[in-house]
Every structure is written in structure tokens, then in C-alpha cells.
Chains A and B, each alone.
Chain A
């Protein structure tokens, strides 16, 4: 006998006894409790159809059921509470386009940094010598990505391509650092620190990423504007201020440990590269310790800030 029928009998009993009490007294109803024929008399048509069927719900299926519900509820919650702005399109871009975006960003970035420095040239020649040096260092470092540094290229097209290649390498290098660190490091590192946002997934939606990207860029532009416009007393002052701002910028714009490590690593590697490259000059220049501190802070800040911004782009793209 199936469980269902048993339970059906049990369920049927009270009403049976209720209807029969008036007619046949309480005693017989007690005895009727487990009788099958009563069931046959009263059971509805569906029973016939389900007769050989087993509705019994095993513990296993029951749990599975709850699992399904919890999962569904989680999915409901997970559903992007803020619709994304065409993220699918962005992520489905072909690799070439992604690289082009990176190289384009690298180009813009270089141009902007150049402008930060050029302004100083025109203003106060004496105070800008360190900036000039750092700029030369950086552009020298970046020019290592060009083939033309190793093999002479004559044609114009070749030069353009060479330039493009260098920018792409630079952009990819800076942009991929974050995604790579995200993959390598445990998930704890990729979560924003000090965050109480009830929707942790929210911060990874593309709409938000785009917002963050804009904010990062504007922050960078704001800094460059401030550097250009404000009458600084010394190069050291600017460098220290910028390097002090950088951790704040990281916490505000990025906030992931992996991002911090990536930026730190990136700027350290770049500094080391520049140091090795210009070893002789640096040793000479290092006599004035204040200037050399300012120089390294400046270069490190330049890369740190840049990697944060490129990290945003990189995470959006890859």
C-alpha cells in the first residue's frame, strides 16, 4: 500500500467520523479508521488513476527540492539589480579591438603625461630640470618597446606600425597586470577591502566598471590639471603630494588588494628597469638626495596611477 493512500486514509478519517457520527455512533467510526473499503467508497476518481503509483517523497528528493528553491532564491538575488550597460558587447569584442583600445589608451596617457611636464618647461626652467629628467627616463623606458630602438626602420608606415606596437605593448602590459593578478591571487584579494556594500556583485557589473573608469580618468586629469595650474614651490613637493595621494586614489577607485599589489609591483618593476637602464646617470645625479627622492617618487607615482586606470580598462576588457 502506498504511503499516499495511507495518508489519505488518515486524512479521510476525521471527516468520515464527523459525517457518520450522527448516524452510526462513535464506536464504529473508531474501527473504521484503517479500513480500505471506506476509502473505496469515498475516494475521488483520481485515486483510481494513481492507484499503482507511489507519491512517497524520499528524504533525498525533499532535500533536493529545498536545494532547488534556495538556489533559485539566490539566483533571484544575484540577478543584476542594476542593469548593465551593454557589457556583453564589450566583452565580446575581438582581441584586435581590445588591443587597439589598450594602445589608444596608452597613447592618450602618454600624451597627457607629456603635457603635464611640458607646461613646467615653459614656466620655470630651473625648477623643472628633475621633471625633464624623469620624463626622459620614462620615455626612454617606453621606447624600449619599439623595434626601431634595436633595428633601424626607414619607411613611414613602418614607423607608425612600430609606434603602434610599442603602445600596444605598453597598454597591454599595464592593462593586463590587474586581470592577471586577479586570476593568480585568491578571491579574497580581488574583493574590495573595507566594503559594506550589500550587493558585492554590484561592483563588478560593467555599468559600474564604466563609471569607475570615468572616475579614475577624471581623477588623473584632475591631478594633471592641478600639477599644471598650481604654483608649486618645488618638484619634491609635487612628487610627495602625488605619492601621498596615490594610496588614497587606490582605496577610492580600486580598493582590491590584488590591484594594490599589481600597481605596486608594476611601478617597482618600471622603476627598477629605469634604474638599471640609467644606472650611471642616476648614481651621478643621486648626489642631491632630495632631487633623487623626488625623481623616484614621481616615476613610481606615474606608473602606480597609470596601472590603476589601465587595470580598470583591463578588467573591463578581459
Chain B
């Protein structure tokens, strides 16, 4: 039963996540309708409350006793009952206001006297006034209505405030405290949603939509209770009960669901599956809570049905919770699904942007980004972001959604049409409470005082405003400013307007941006893909032909049977090439062109328009030119490779690719997380050695790493005419102001690069400036070069260093790919220290050594030995081995192993436990998880193995830093293993008669030494074979 419910709910959620737009817009519309209906209900309730008294309460009457003297305002007495003075002459006064309209005559009203201004005449008549609904004058229709909307809201507000004050005065102190506590708890609960959601990387939207869905549930509940069950809850009980309800029910399930979804959102599952899974996993808990509360509420309502207030509120709460539950299975998954999809779309865009910053062409970047997106989410069907037509529909849907949203915000403005049809009295009565003009001198002066006594009854002010499109248009311009002022002045409404506007603008920007980026990327990709597939087909055909040709050639058969035509003569080929149709030529013809020097090798890609074909042609051309038939064979592989990725980014003049064996060592616990570390190497034993190191480290609890610095450097060289200027420039750059100025200029060039520090060194009139910046997840050399170039230009143009001459953007003060002390001392890229503790029994059992021997060996070899050799940063056994192997496997720049391998290995014995403490400090690991070789598929796959492919979804740079930590940890493992092998060897050799394999360490000496080797356990057969083998080897 329960599992059935879980299945059903997850199916519904899946559907909702699959069609998020429908599932969001439909409830939004319904909520908007419910809202309007409810607002209507509650506002009518308010106006009715105004009407409670008789109509007379809406007017004020003043009585002037019979006298001859001239009237003064002070002598007028306000009276309640007009009928007390039957003899008195009665005047009815209706102050009237016209909405100011420029350049138009105001309509004429009967019995008017001049009011305070032209637009405010006062009607004074001796008969009861009849309001005139519409007036026509000068082509403008004037309609009776509320003066402006803002004041209406203001009235609501003041009324509500008065109500609250009233009820507070009536209530018991203890009750007030209770209510205040409940409100505090409610606000805590609401704010907690935002705080909790922040932990899942959503600043605002997730929490906001969570609350929105609950508000919708509230609206639906209210609507149902009022119109269907007919159990209306008064505003008072609502304001008392809702805080309790909110605080008791809370949002923890929604937060938990959202958390689960957002944790999984970076995974490879389909969005709707993730959402469905999250929902179904929470079904039971949520049902339990909701069903319990709903049951309790309804049974309360049933049991205490005579207590109307309680019953109604219980019914309402039960309904709200029921709707909430329904929305959790429909609208909430839709929101989550949409959120995840947008997140993924944005990620694709982020990858692309980062790649472009790394200097990779737009199309390629888009392609890589898109592919990585599909790799990450292979089953993604992208329900509405997939093609441009569906984007259009998505946009339309968004617009509708926005419209609904606006209606929602400004929903009550629709009510005006209703107000107009209502009777004058109800409208006036509404206004009456706050606005009845006082009796003014102006008025009393104009009214003739009757000897029998006079009564003036003042009615509430009536407002006329013009109707008519033309006038409105005309008016809008002149009044816009005034209206705007009004709106600003109104304290409540202005905030709502601004808030609503801000929200709609942000939503617009957000969605449209997402859609736009997607459009660009998708369009280009579609074009590109079409092109590529067509060309690939062609290329494949031609390749097939070429291969067949080759076979036939080798069999000495004529070509005619397979090729459609004879190879064209060279002249003709040149002609075709000049017309730009090189593509149409066969491979052998193009090769012929190349061999004859008519077509440069580097231009093949451009001329052929197909990177793979260019590789084929280039191989055969070089085979001919250099007379190296090996390129005609398949010994250097070239097939099954995506050369599109290579061209323009990784390599030129491509003739194939070099396969390298990739081994894996692991698991290695790095900061508590296991990693399988890929290594591309041709050196035997390396992986096995690292593997053993990993085991020993794991047995001790894994590696702990610390990142001490993260900043790529670039050190341009500039020259000044005089030493004085050079010195001044150095001082300026070193000063706070200089640092700040250059930083500002630098940071403006990139989204990721943030300048950390500028270090300078002066050599004569040459000034070297070392920029250190963060580079996100990219290794960052391209990014930083751009920034440096701009910064230098900025210094020359804006900072008064016109005489500065930039000699080179890279002045080797960086210093890149060359051994130098500055990287060792100052660090470059990521500076990592990794440490592990190896229990002494593990040292003995796994490493077959002992702690003392290891420590001694480390001091003698890695510290003293390297010092004796005059090493800089080479205080390690073989850090470069691991660094290079991982770099090759993970698409890093292998040449950067020069400084990346800077490492000092330290070991000591724990004084208490006798365990081994080993650490490696590597100040300059230069890695990136985006750009460079990582865009190639195999290298990207290896990064994925480590879980650091591409940019980090939330915190740019974390992936690269993690990779650096992994490199350092692997180095630690390898150092440990090698040092213990050496230490063990030392131990063993002390007991051994001879070191029979010493020559093996020197391959050159091997052939000589191999023959006399006496294998300890070799049988005569073995020895014989061995001898044969060595003879063969020597021959070869």
C-alpha cells in the first residue's frame, strides 16, 4: 500500500518535472483566480463593516442656531440627528474633485460654488444630492470613481492598523505574548527556509518558490473553504491561527527534498528521475506528518462542530495542508526540475565561457561544453531547452507565467471594474470613514444663514476622473511625474511595486539569459554537427576508397577498378585548388599537390575542411616527402580520434596520436575520500609502486592535505629610459595605490581571474613584474596573459608611465617550465602540503622496511643528497615521476612538470607511538581541469575518474585545487613506496652476498651483464632459454 503510494507520487512528480512549465503555470493561474476571489471576499467584508451604521454615519451635519449675526465657523455645532431640528433649512454639500486635466474645460455641475481650487468645486443644493455617474464636457467623459488607487490601499492599511490596535487593546497580555511568540516562530520558520536553501547553493529562488507553493496552497484552501464548504474563516482567526500553523508544520520536508535534488543535480541522472526519486523517498515521512495533522484537524472539526470558529479554522487548516501535499507532488517537483535544468544549462554556458577565456575558439568551446554537458547528463532529454522552436514555446510560457505573476501582484487592480458598478453609497461609504471634509470658513461664508436655523450636511467628497483614450494618453505624460511621486510617497505600495518590478525584471533576465545562451550554443552546435556529419560521411567514403586503393596498390592492381576516375594531372589540380575546391579532389591528388609544394602542409585542414582527412593526407604526403613509409602503415594510429578538438587548440600539423598506457593506482584516501589515480607512463613499476604506497597510507588513515596558496603567475618584462623612472615605477607598483589600480584594470578582463598580488624586481632599467592571480578551474596561462597585457597597456595609457616599454609579456620572471628558485620559494599555481601517518607495523608489513631506516634514508638521500647536488626544490625521491604520469593522463601540460615537481619530502618518527610521519610540500603544482589538453576526450575521461572534470559547479577553482591535492597525495604515496624500497634494499643488501641485479639499473650495461646472470632458482631449461634469449637480444 505504502509502496504503491510512493510509486504513484513519484510517477506524478516525474511527470511534473518533465513538463515543468505546465505544472507551474496551471497552479499559478488557479492561485491568481483564487486570490482575486478571496481578496474580493475579504475586502467586501471590510467595506461592509464600514456600512454597519446607517447612511447618516457617512455624513456630517452641522447646525447653526437661528440668529441674525454673520456666521462664523465656531458657531456651527456638529449634530448627530438631523430630525431634531425640523424647522431648520437644510443644505446638502457635496465637495467634488475633478482629476486635474490640462487644456480642457471642466464639466459644469449644477449649484456649485467655487471650491479651494478650480478642480475642486463644491455642490451646495437644497435637495438631497443625486450623484451623476458620468458627465460629458468638451469631448471628455468624466466618470465618478475613487480618486486614486493608492489612497484606497492606504485606506485598507490604516483600517487594518486600526483593527489591530483595537484587538490588541482588548486582548489579554498573555494572549499578546503568545501571539507575538507565534509570529516570531513563524518568521523564524520562514527565514530558516532561506538559510537552509542557501546551503544547497540556492540563494533565493528555491526558498522563494517553496514558500510560493505553500502560499498557493493557502489560497486554494481559503478559496475552497469559502466557496465550496462555505466555512469562512474571519480575518481575525486567520491572523491568529496561521502563525501557529506555519510554525508547527514548517517546511522541513520541502527543504529536505530540495536538498536531495540539489545534491544529485550535478550527477548524470535525468532531471525527472532525480526529482521523482527525491519525492518518493520522502513520501512516507511527509504523508505521516500531513495525514496525522489533517486527520487531527478534521476530527477536531467533527468533534467540536458546534464551536464554529474552531471548526472553520480546522477545516481551513486541513484544506491548506491537503493542497500543500498535492502541490508538493505537482508544482514543487516542477519547480525543482526547472531549477536543475536551468542550473545544468548555465553550467554548460559556464564551461563554454571558461574555455573561451582560455583562448579556445567559440565553436569548439561550445562543442566541448555541450558534449561535457551531455556526458554529465547522458540521458538528458532537455524537454524544452533542446531546440530553438521549443525555446520559443518556453519563452511564451515564461511570458504567460510572468503575466500571471503580475496579475497576482497587482491583482486587486482588476477590482476597479467592479467598484464602478457598485452603488454610490457603498463607494462613498467606503471613503467616508477617513475623508469627510471639515466645515470650512469658505463653505460657511457661501451658505445663506436661515432665520429658522440652518443645517449643513456634508457628504464625502466625490471624485470625477476623465475617461477616454485620447485624454488619457494626453494626460499620462503630464501626470506621469505626479503619479510617480504619489506612488513613491505611499509607503506601502511603493515597496510592493518596486519589489514586484524587481522580481519580474530578475525573472525575465534570468530566464531569457538562460534561453539565450542556450539558443546560441545550440544553434552553432546544430550547424556544426550537421556540417560535421556531412563531411564525415564524405571523408569516410573517401577514406574507404583510399584504403581500398592502398590494398590494390600493394597488390599491384590497377586503380581504375576502384577509383571513379584517373588521378587528375597536377596542373588541373592546382586550378581546382585555386578555385577553392580542394575538397573535391581525391586524397592522392591532394597529396600530390602537397608533395609538389603547391599546398602547404599546415593549410590542409583549411583547404579540405575536414580535420580527419587532413591527417590522412598529411601522413601520406610526409611519407612521400621524407620517404618514411612507416607513416603509410598504421603503426602510428590515427583512426577513431576527434581531430576537431585538436585543431586550433591542442596541436598543429597533426599526423596521428600517441597512445600511452594508462595505469591506475588506488584507492587512495585523500582527506577521507577515496580516489583511483590514473597515470600514463611507460615506466614499469611506477604504478605498482604508487599502489603499494597507497595501501600503506590507507592503512594509516589516508592523506591529509592543506592548500596554502592558489595563484598562477606571469612576469612581464618592461624597460624604462632611466633607472630613476624604473625605480619610481617599482615603488608605485609596490605601493597600495599602485596595487589597487593595477588590480582593478586586471580584474576587468576576466570573469575568473582575480589579481592577488604583484611582485616586482628591478634589474638595471629592466623591471620585472610578477602578477599572481586566481584562475578558476583553468590552469590559467592564457587568461592571465590577457590580463597582464591589458594591465600594462593601462599603466602606459592611464597611469602616467608613457615611457614604459613592454619588452615581453613573459619576461621569464613567471617562471614557466624552467627550473628556478622563485617558484620554489614563492609558489606558482597551487601550493599543497600533504601528510600521512603510517603505523609502524604497516611500515614493516606492507612496506617491508622500518621507520628508523626510512627516516635515516630520507635525511641522507632527499635532504643531504639533494643539497650536495645543489638542488633547488628537488628534495624528493621521484616526485616528477608521478607528476608527469598524472599530467599526461589528465591532459595537463607535461612540460610544467619542471616546476610542478618541486617537492620536499620529510619523514620523522613519532616520538610516542613510533609511527612514521611523512609529508610532501609542493609549492608549485600547476593544474587545471578546463582548457588545454583536458578538452580531449580521453584526458577528460580521466579527470572524470577523479571527479574533477570541468569547472566546479558552485565554487570556481575547487576542481583544480582538488586535482592538485590528488597529485600531491599520489606523490606522497610514490615517495613513501620508493623510499621504503630503497631502505628495504639497504636492509636486505646487508644480509646478501651479492647484489645480482645492480646492472639492471643501468640499461646500457644490461646486455653485458645479462648473460652472466645466474638466476637463483633457474632450472637448466630456464638457463638455456635465457641464453637463447640474450643472444637474440644482442643480435637485435
Contacts and interface: CB of A to CB of B under 8 A. Distances in A.
B284 A194 contact: yes
Contacts of B260: 198
B178 A224 contact: yes
B282 interface: yes
Contacts of A76: 672-673
Interface string A199-216: 100100000100100110
A48 interface: yes
Interface stretch (A126-134, A135-143, A236-244, A290-298): A236-244
B1017 interface: yes
A65 interface: yes
A12 B684 contact: yes
Q: Which of A73, A81, A199, A218 has the most CB of B within 10 A?
A: A218
Contact of B1029 (A23, A32, A55, A82): A32
B1011 interface: yes
Interface in B1008-1028: 1009-1011, 1013, 1015, 1017-1018, 1022, 1025-1026, 1028
A218 B1029 contact: no
B1029 A31 contact: yes
A144 B724 CA distance: 92
Interface residues of A, number: 82
Contacts of A65: 667, 695, 698
B862 to A, nearest CB: 14
A43 B296 contact: no
Contacts of B848: 53-54
B181 interface: yes
B1013 A37 contact: yes
A43 B669 contact: no
Interface stretch (A97-105, A172-180, A182-190, A226-234): A226-234
B861 to A, nearest CB: 11
B101 interface: no
Contact of B684 (A24, A44, A52): A44
A221 B281 contact: no
Contact of A248 (B182, B293, B1036): B293
A122 B1022 CA distance: 110
Interface string B281-311: 1111100110011011001100110110110
Given A51-B985, A195-B288, A225 B175 contact: yes
A160 interface: no
Contacts of A241: 300, 303-304
A221 B178 contact: yes
Contacts of B175: 225, 228-229
A157 to B, nearest CB: 29
Contacts of B283: 196
B1026 A194 contact: no
Interface in A9-42: 11-12, 20, 23-24, 28, 31-32, 34-38, 40-42
A72 B1026 contact: no
A4 B682 CA distance: 16
Contact of B240 (A8, A45, A225): A225
Nearest to B311: A230
B256 A199 contact: yes
A211 B248 CA distance: 10
Nearest to B842: A61
Q: Which of B263, B878, B1015, B1032 has the most CB of A within 10 A?
A: B1032
A49 interface: yes
Contacts of B1013: 36-37, 40
Contact of B692 (A55, A75, A233): A55
Nearest to A219: B248
Q: Which of B192, B256, B1015 has the most CB of A within 10 A?
A: B256
B1001 A49 contact: yes
Nearest to B847: A53
Contacts of A226: 310
B244 A225 contact: yes
A115 B695 CA distance: 67
A44 B685 contact: yes
A41 B695 contact: no
Given A45-B1003, A47-B685, A198-B260, A218 B304 contact: no
A254 B555 CA distance: 85
A230 B999 CA distance: 98
B46 to A, nearest CB: 22
A248 B295 CA distance: 9
B836 to A, nearest CB: 13
Contacts of B688: 4, 50, 55
A77 B1036 CA distance: 57
A72 B199 contact: no
A40 B684 contact: no
Contacts of A38: 1029, 1033
Contacts of B296: 244-245, 248
Contacts of B683: 44-46
B288 A197 contact: no
A53 B1017 CA distance: 17
Contact of B1000 (A51, A228, A232): A51
Given A45-B1003, A52-B984, A221-B178, A40 B1028 contact: no
A92 interface: no
A64 interface: yes
Contacts of B288: 194-195, 251, 255
Nearest to B192: A211
A197 B181 contact: no
B196 A218 contact: no
B1036 A24 contact: yes
A76 B675 CA distance: 13
A41 B985 contact: no
A40 B998 CA distance: 10
Contacts of A244: 296, 299-300, 303
B185 A36 contact: no
A53 B981 contact: yes
A190 B107 CA distance: 81
Contacts of B984: 52-53
Q: Which of B6, B303, B306, B1026 has the most CB of A within 10 A?
A: B1026
A155 to B, nearest CB: 31
Contact of A52 (B196, B674, B988): B988
Given A35-B1029, A241-B303, A69 B674 contact: yes
B846 A61 contact: yes
B631 to A, nearest CB: 16
Contact of B256 (A35, A43, A53, A197): A197
Nearest to A25: B1032
Given A31-B1025, A115-B174, A195-B288, A211 B181 contact: no
Nearest to B253: A197
Contacts of B1028: 28, 31, 35
B698 A68 contact: yes
A72 B303 contact: no
B52 interface: no
A222 interface: yes
B685 A4 contact: yes
Nearest 6 A/B pairs, CB to CB: A48-B1001, A196-B284, A35-B1029, A222-B244, A46-B685, A248-B296
Given A28-B1032, A252-B293, 17 more contacts: A1-B1017, A8-B684, A37-B1029, A41-B1007, A44-B685, A47-B1000, A52-B985, A57-B691, A57-B695, A65-B698, A82-B199, A195-B288, A196-B282, A217-B185, A222-B182, A225-B178, A241-B300
25 contacts: A11-B684, A23-B1036, A35-B1029, A37-B1026, A38-B1033, A43-B685, A43-B1000, A46-B878, A68-B667, A68-B702, A72-B672, A72-B674, A75-B672, A83-B199, A194-B288, A197-B256, A198-B281, A211-B192, A214-B189, A225-B175, A228-B172, A228-B174, A244-B296, A248-B295, A252-B293
Interface of A: 1, 4, 8, 11-12, 20, 23-24, 28, 31-32, 34-38, 40-55, 57, 61, 64-65, 68-69, 72-73, 75-76, 81-83, 115, 119, 192, 194-199, 202, 208, 211, 214-215, 217-219, 221-222, 224-226, 228-233, 237, 240-241, 244-245, 248, 251-252, 255
